[in-house]
Amino acid sequence: MLGWALTFLVIAIVAAVFGFGGIASASAGIAQILFFIFLALFVIGLIVHFVRGRSV
């Protein structure tokens, strides 16, 4: 998922350099949404890991 966010970020940067405003803003929006989804899943995973504790 983080890979997709980075891909859309690169697309947004390239589109911004070439002056394609609509494509750049759409790609940046998608990258931002994917980043926050990834961040939320990461935090949930950390919480689950610490709640479950260590299994021997």
Q: pLDDT for 11-29, tens place per residue? A: 888 887 877 778 778 888 8
Could you give the number of structural domains in the chain? Answer: 1
Note the pTM of the prediction, 2 decimals: 0.61
> Is the model's pLDDT at 56 over the cut of 70?
no
Q: Say if residue 1's pLDDT is above 80.
A: no
Distance (Å, whole) CA 33 – CA 10 = 15
Contacts of 8 (CB under 8 A, 6+ apart): 27, 28, 30, 31, 34
Q: What is the pLDDT of residues 29-51, one digit of tens each?
A: 888 888 898 889 889 988 988 89
Question: Residues near 56 by Cβ (< 8 Å), separated by ≥ 6?
Answer: none
Using an 8 Å Cβ cutoff, are 52 and 33 in contact?
Answer: no
Helix (H, G, I), strand (E, B) or coil at 6: helix
Give residue 11's domain range: 2-52
